[in-house]
Structure 1
């Protein structure tokens, strides 16, 4: 069964609200009219009762009452919709102004409603002489059929008004809802047209209603993220092909040349060693790619063990000391702090930064590792002297396969352009952030980690 559209739901909701309000107002008006008629009848009967008591004053027994019966008949003849019964204190009927009055008329004092033979009456009972205990009783019957007809017509009019109001509101509500939901249909059209070649479409936020402005802004932000992710994915795929093309071509060429003619065992061994180097680099590239894929899906779960960052940094500086000595670069470490984190992952991140710093530090330069325990967390900085990095290149340093050095060596087993991306994933897995600053002859990679990561 097809679900009802949002416009249809709103139209039905408007119609239901209008029907309920109209019906409530109609019921209140009907009750008010009925109460008003009762008050009018009460006033009429009270006035008639005063006139009858005046006309029958002193007629406390049947003999005296008979003397005034003619006057009473004349009094009642002026109002044909009103009937009178006079009942003695002993319960006998002294007088009926109309024939065929019911025998079981209520005798309790007060105003009551009665239905007899399809006719509605208002019955009013009262003592002829209120100050006497054995007084005769006056029972007035007012025909209120015309009141009932009016109330019935009023009820029909109420139902007709409710029905027409609900129908009109449903139609107007459907039109208003359809007009008001036009921006949503526009958003749906944009979403339907989104593809790999049309991620640049955006919703006009300034033309959206206030209620949909945030949704349009969020939708545009989502399209922006998709566009950026798709561009990165496309570049990533191209970079993978770019990186793997050279080693695969080298392997194929070297193998084909080796197999062109019979060779000595030493030549075959040398060819296999050369191929092994290329294969090891490709295996490392694939492992790095899998590592980044795990990071993208939040599958990097650092171990928690107490670490002394000064000791970890000193061990790595000792490892890189021969390379630094050969390049005439000074290695120093300043500060210390304790951290709960994954030893191997943090060593890999710091090792990537130190390797990167040594490669871009000129002779007689310096590489420093600064550790600071700050109130908001731990700060770990790796900085090196030398030529700075252009401001427009800084945001791309952590992109995969990106190299700030324009001299790009395809298939280089040492610098595949994934080191900084892996470092960023490790720092994020520990709940921290990393950024790069460059200026005044120094390039700094600043890592901020929570004290209890």
Structure 2
């Protein structure tokens, strides 16, 4: 079955709500009208009862009642829709104003409604002399057939009104829903026109209703993220081609030159060693790219083993000590904290940051590792002295193949610009965050990690 559209659902909902409200109002009006008729009949019968009691005052037995029978008939002839039946205390029939009255009437005093031979009666029974227990019983019967016909016509009118109101509301609701949902159709048109080559379209948020303004803002934000992701993907593809083109060109050129003429064994060995270096760098680049691809798909699953960050930092500082000594850079570590994490992954992240810091620290400079065990988690920072990084470049430091500025570019295949991207992936896999802070003469990478 074809699903109903949102406009059709709203139209049917409007129609159902209108039908329910109209029906409820009609039922209330019908009940109120019926109660009003009962009240009017009660007042009429009460007045007639007072008049009959006054006319029959003292007629306590059949003989005295027979003397006033003619007067009673005159009294009842004034109102053709009202009939009277009088019975004695013993149940004997004293008077019946009409021969067609129903025989089976309620014996209990009070007001009742009775149907007989297609005619509806309001029956009111009361004693002739309320103060006497053996008093004769008066039974007034008021023909209310015209009241019933009026109520039936009104009920038919109510059903007709409910049907017409539901139909009119459905039509008007469909028109209103179609008009009100026009911004959604606009969103659908924009979404249908989105492709990899056209991500610049945006919804006019200021023209949207208040209920859809937030949705439009979210939709535009999604388009912005998609546009940014496609731009980064395009740049990433271009960077991969650029990074691989140079070593491939070197391999081709070097191999072609080597094969231009016969050479000695040592020359071939030297050529193979040179090609091996390029191939090793390309293999490392491919491995790094695969590592980042696994991180993008949530496939990095770090082990959770107890570690001491201070010990791990000391091992890496000891490894980089000869390089720092040659570069005349001082290495220090402050603080310690326990953590549960993947030893090899955390070492790789710290190694990338330390290698990056040493490369950009001038002679007589310093690299400081600081570990702080705070209330909200662990904070590990690596700070180095040297030229600062402009604030405008900080958000892009963790992009793949990105170098901060021309002064920081090596110009060789040794560093492809993937170290910080890999470090960020490792920290995120551990549930932490990493950021870079920089100022004149210093740069600091700050990692915030949970303890478990």
Q: TM-score range by the shorter chain?
A: over 0.9
Partner in structure 2 of residue 449 of structure 1:
449
In 1, the alpha carbon distance for the partners of 2:95 and 2:405 equals: 125
Deviations 1:391-415 (A, max 9, x none): 22222111101112426566x4420
Task: State the 1:358 CA deviation.
Answer: 1.9
State how 1:171-182 maps to structure 2 within 5 Å.
171-182=171-182
Partner in structure 1 of residue 95 of structure 2:
95
Partner in structure 2 of residue 27 of structure 1:
27
Deviations 1:137-163 (A, max 9, x none): 222211111111111121122112212
SS at match of 1:91: coil
When normalised by structure 2's length, the TM-score is: 0.93
Distance 1:50 1:379, change over 3 A: closer
In 2, the alpha carbon distance for the partners of 1:390 and 1:102 equals: 107
Deviations 1:363-403 (A, max 9, x none): 33332323333344333222222222222222211110111
Deviations 1:170-215 (A, max 9, x none): 2222222222222222222222222222222222223322222222
In 2, the alpha carbon distance for the partners of 1:336 and 1:106 equals: 99
1:201 aligns with 2:213: no
Distance 1:74 1:409, change over 3 A: same
Partner in structure 2 of residue 9 of structure 1:
9
Distance 1:87 1:297, change over 3 A: same
Contact 1:190–1:201 (CA under 8 A) maintained in structure 2:
yes
Partner in structure 1 of residue 428 of structure 2:
428
Contact 1:205–1:217 (CA under 8 A) maintained in structure 2:
yes
In 2, the alpha carbon distance for the partners of 1:107 and 1:348 equals: 103
SS at match of 1:333: strand
Task: State the 1:34 CA deviation.
Answer: 0.8
SS at match of 2:406: coil
Distance 1:422 1:95, change over 3 A: same
Contact 2:89–2:137 (CA under 8 A) maintained in structure 1:
yes
When normalised by structure 1's length, the TM-score is: 0.93
Partner in structure 1 of residue 358 of structure 2:
358
SS at match of 1:24: helix
Partner in structure 2 of residue 80 of structure 1:
80
Task: State the 1:257 CA deviation.
Answer: 4.2
SS at match of 2:64: helix
Partner in structure 1 of residue 252 of structure 2:
252
In 2, the alpha carbon distance for the partners of 1:58 and 1:335 equals: 118
1:111 aligns with 2:96: no
Partner in structure 1 of residue 46 of structure 2:
46
State how 1:208-227 maps to structure 2 within 5 Å.
208-227=208-227
Aligned Cα root-mean-square deviation (Å): 2.2
In 2, the alpha carbon distance for the partners of 1:99 and 1:333 equals: 120
Distance 1:137 1:390, change over 3 A: closer
In 2, the alpha carbon distance for the partners of 1:355 and 1:100 equals: 117
SS at match of 1:417: coil
SS at match of 1:104: coil
Deviations 1:122-151 (A, max 9, x none): 122222233333333222211111111111
Deviations 1:84-137 (A, max 9, x none): 222233333222222332332333322211111111111222222333333332
Count of residue correspondences: 451
Partner in structure 2 of residue 233 of structure 1:
233
Deviations 1:275-297 (A, max 9, x none): 22222211111111111112222
In 1, the alpha carbon distance for the partners of 2:349 and 2:227 equals: 29
In 2, the alpha carbon distance for the partners of 1:105 and 1:312 equals: 105
Unpaired segments of 5 or more residues in structure 2? none
Task: State the 1:27 CA deviation.
Answer: 0.8
In 2, the alpha carbon distance for the partners of 1:179 and 1:305 equals: 61
Contact 1:387–1:442 (CA under 8 A) maintained in structure 2:
yes
Contact 1:107–1:139 (CA under 8 A) maintained in structure 2:
no
Contact 1:389–1:438 (CA under 8 A) maintained in structure 2:
yes
Distance 1:135 1:336, change over 3 A: closer
Distance 1:446 1:137, change over 3 A: closer
Partner in structure 1 of residue 289 of structure 2:
289
In 2, the alpha carbon distance for the partners of 1:390 and 1:131 equals: 110
SS at match of 1:295: helix
In 2, the alpha carbon distance for the partners of 1:160 and 1:275 equals: 93
Task: State the 1:259 CA deviation.
Answer: 4.4
Partner in structure 1 of residue 69 of structure 2:
69
SS at match of 1:399: coil
Contact 2:247–2:413 (CA under 8 A) maintained in structure 1:
no
